[in-house]
Structure 1
Amino acid sequence: MNGMGNPQDLLSRLSGPLAPIRDRLSHGPEFRRVVPSAQVLEADVFACLMQSYARRFGVKSDGYLVSLWSQKYLATVIIPVMALSVIGGQAVHADIETTEIVVDDDGEPVALGLPSAFTTEEADQTASLLVSTHLTPLVEALAKRSGLSRKVFWGNAAHYLEWIVRQLPGKNPDFALPAPMTDAIRYVEEDGLRLRRRKVCCLRDRVPGVEDCGSLCPDRVKRIKP
Structure 2
Amino acid sequence: MAYLAFRQPAEEWGTVPRFFPRTLSDKVKATFTRHSPWFNDFIFPGAQAPSDTLTLAQWSQPAELATLLERYASHCYRDTPEKKQQNKPLLSLWAQWYTGLLVPPLMLAQLTMSCPLDLSPERVCVRFHETGRAEKFWLDVQPAHHDAPRDAMSRMEHLIESGITPVVAALEATGHINGKLIWSNLGYIVNWFLNEMSKFHPQEELNALHRHCFLSAQLRTGSANPLFRTMLEREGQWVRRTCCQRNRLPGVQQCGDCTLA
Q: Is the structural similarity TM-score above 0.5?
A: yes
Deviation at 1:25, TM superposition (A): 0.8
Output the amino acid matched with 2:161: S
d(CA) in 2 for partners of 1:76 and 1:162? 14
Instruction: Find the counterpart in structure 2 of residue 181 from structure 1.
Output: 227
Output the amino acid matched with 1:206: R
2:28 to 1, 6, 10: 10
Per the alignment, in what secondary structure is the counterpart of residue 123 of structure 2?
coil
User: Any conservation in 1 of the 2:123–2:140 contact (CA below 8 Å)?
Assistant: yes
Output the amino acid matched with 1:47: A
Q: Deviations over 1:97-152 (max 9, x none)?
A: 33111222112212221122121432612321122223222212212315322210
Instruction: Find the counterpart in structure 2 of residue 42 from structure 1.
Output: 61
TM norm structure 2: 0.72
Output the amino acid matched with 1:170: P
Deviation at 1:22, TM superposition (A): 1.8
d(CA) in 2 for partners of 1:32 and 1:163? 33
Instruction: Find the counterpart in structure 1 of residue 17 from structure 2.
Output: none
Q: Which runs of 5+ in 1 are unaligned?
A: none
d(CA) in 2 for partners of 1:105 and 1:26? 20
Deviation at 1:4, TM superposition (A): 6.8
Instruction: Find the counterpart in structure 2 of residue 197 from structure 1.
Output: 239
1:162 to 191, 197, 200: 191
Seen in structure 2, the aligned counterparts of structure 1 residues 186 and 98 have a Cα distance that, compared at 3 Å, is same
d(CA) in 2 for partners of 1:130 and 1:157? 12
Q: Deviations over 1:13-62 (max 9, x none)?
A: 32465111222313635668411122232211111111121222226472
Question: What RMSD over aligned residues (CA atoms) do the two structures have, in Å?
Answer: 2.5
Q: Which runs of 5+ in 2 are unaligned?
A: 1-20, 214-218, 220-224
Question: 4+ residue runs of structure 1 moved beyond 6 angstroms?
Answer: none
Q: Which has the larger radius of gyration?
A: 2
d(CA) in 1 for partners of 2:228 and 2:64? 31
Seen in structure 2, the aligned counterparts of structure 1 residues 154 and 142 have a Cα distance that, compared at 3 Å, is same
User: Any conservation in 1 of the 2:111–2:156 contact (CA below 8 Å)?
Assistant: no
User: Any conservation in 1 of the 2:107–2:159 contact (CA below 8 Å)?
Assistant: no
Q: How many residues align?
A: 213
Instruction: Find the counterpart in structure 1 of residue 160 from structure 2.
Output: 131
User: Any conservation in 1 of the 2:116–2:143 contact (CA below 8 Å)?
Assistant: yes
Seen in structure 2, the aligned counterparts of structure 1 residues 105 and 92 have a Cα distance that, compared at 3 Å, is same
TM norm structure 1: 0.82
d(CA) in 2 for partners of 1:4 and 1:69? 36
User: Any conservation in 2 of the 1:65–1:204 contact (CA below 8 Å)?
Assistant: yes
Instruction: Find the counterpart in structure 1 of residue 14 from structure 2.
Output: none
Does 2:73 correspond to 1:54?
yes
Per the alignment, in what secondary structure is the counterpart of residue 170 of structure 2?
helix
